[in-house]
Structure 1
């Protein structure tokens, strides 16, 4: 099956839509971003702000209870729900009850940024996959991917509304194979995983592959080596979540997220240098890039 370039021509054929008429924040969708740990609380902050920068109307963060106040101050535009953590600082399934009400009012669930040990968070990820209501879209990132190898049926039950954003190591953990095998044929790996899990797969690397369950496969040639930095993937996941909340289909949301993330990296590489810019600096580039090609 052929691979299509994710470029300006593809984006023009699948344009983003600006809200029209009298639109309040609810009409632009609500994202629930669940993740973080006592070791990496900032990851879920990056994902939450990225969702807002991509145009989500409202964002709520589910993060470690001991740091909930700090997250609320870091992202004052978002509501924050403090969730229990284990002795190791990871979120636990004990937070499911507190999350239920918020899940019932959100359009998109972003899960995984900053979560710790995949084995430690698997019970929460499994529970949230089972709780997500009909019509809700989901983005799985980081540890939420690595622990999902045996959760394929739960993921597929969401009818193609799931976007998964693994790098090669996370894909290897998901498929229980060697990372070298993923790299050897990334296009086939992404396509097979998309069909197996019934999800859109964003296989991240220097060149990123986006594959849909129907076999559609896109390739983005990359935003540069500077994107290989801590927090970069959290921003990508949040952008995808924001676009999904606005009503874009999973393939379009994933592809646009990859392009916006990559082009933000290219822009910062020109302005700052090829390496050394920070993941949080990608955030302010997203609205302008989005506006430059919105339909």
Structure 2
């Protein structure tokens, strides 16, 4: 297991944006998620992606939340998707989603969704889209997979999943305590099973690749255990992937940036009590120059 330290970062550099590079050249990211109960989560995800240098963001969410989300996040384009009776995304018909996936370089699916069945339908439709972009599954979009693992077969080699231990346990059909007892083993096995980069996040985080590589980050502190923190993390990963980093590098760098922003806030304000949105302005200064 390799430590996510200065040596790792030096050997896996983030290429600086060249002078004159426009927003299209820095990558386009689609974030699909949110619900009537958690309408703002994908705003955190989209802003995090911009803060790490992505060029364009599109947010796709339930119709009732689309307009206020667009006002809250003027830097992004908003796509209103059909909404079911529970206030979750309804992918019927799937064409708007497929068209949106065809306009971007990377997609994040799942932040702010609260219903596993709705998330499962969304993941299935994303896997059927006739585009081969990287897909990042987060939150309910990971927890919903157990029993329908074959749906992820079309995504092998271009998939990142970002579960915490509870979501990993739901994915694997085991107990959460079992996952916590051996994070590296579960992350490595899942990476091989799904052909995916697995970011298994806890007090410490491990990033496992399908080729068996395993990177360890000691954690950004207890303050990161707060609502919205994971939405920021997956946005940082998605933004870096949209910029063209290899998926395993984007995952590890996203983990480091998110964690170091947490460390910085802990020193400035105290170990707990800061908000996920406070991480966002710190991300640009942590990027290599």
TM range (shorter): over 0.9
SS at 1:93 equivalent: coil
SS at 2:262 equivalent: helix
Are the structure 2 counterparts of residues 143 and 261 from structure 1 closer, same or farther at C-alpha, using a change threshold of 3 Å? same
SS at 2:212 equivalent: coil
In structure 2, the partner of 1:96 is 94
2:214 aligns with one of 217, 220, 238: 217
Give the superposition deviation at 1:191: 0.2
2:69 aligns with one of 49, 53, 71: 71
The 1-side partners of 2:99 and 2:128 are apart by 14
1:155·1:198 contact (CA, 8 Å) conserved in 2? no
In structure 2, the partner of 1:14 is 12
Q: Normalising by structure 2, what TM-score?
A: 0.97
In structure 1, the partner of 2:252 is 255
The 2-side partners of 1:47 and 1:21 are apart by 26
Are the structure 2 counterparts of residues 173 and 129 from structure 1 closer, same or farther at C-alpha, using a change threshold of 3 Å? same
In structure 2, the partner of 1:198 is 195
Give the superposition deviation at 1:209: 0.6
1:170-191 CA-partner distances (Å, limit 9, x unpaired)? 0000001111110111100000
In structure 1, the partner of 2:158 is 161
Asked if residue 113 in structure 1 is aligned to residue 111 in structure 2, the reply is yes
Q: Normalising by structure 1, what TM-score?
A: 0.95
Give the superposition deviation at 1:132: 5.7
Asked if residue 143 in structure 1 is aligned to residue 140 in structure 2, the reply is yes
1:82 aligns with one of 80, 83, 88: 80
In structure 2, the partner of 1:207 is 204
2:123 aligns with one of 122, 125, 140: 125
| Structure 2, unpaired ranges of 5+ | none
Asked if residue 170 in structure 1 is aligned to residue 182 in structure 2, the reply is no
The 1-side partners of 2:228 and 2:130 are apart by 26
Are the structure 2 counterparts of residues 174 and 102 from structure 1 closer, same or farther at C-alpha, using a change threshold of 3 Å? same
1:93·1:121 contact (CA, 8 Å) conserved in 2? no
Are the structure 2 counterparts of residues 95 and 121 from structure 1 closer, same or farther at C-alpha, using a change threshold of 3 Å? farther
The 2-side partners of 1:155 and 1:108 are apart by 16
Are the structure 2 counterparts of residues 161 and 186 from structure 1 closer, same or farther at C-alpha, using a change threshold of 3 Å? same
RMSD of aligned residue pairs (Cα, Å): 1.2
1:138-192 CA-partner distances (Å, limit 9, x unpaired)? 1110000011224434434334221100000000000011111101111000000
2:279 aligns with one of 282, 285, 289: 282
Give the superposition deviation at 1:8: 1.3
Structure 1 segments, 4+ long, off by >3 Å, are 150-154
| Structure 1, unpaired ranges of 5+ | none
The 2-side partners of 1:240 and 1:150 are apart by 27
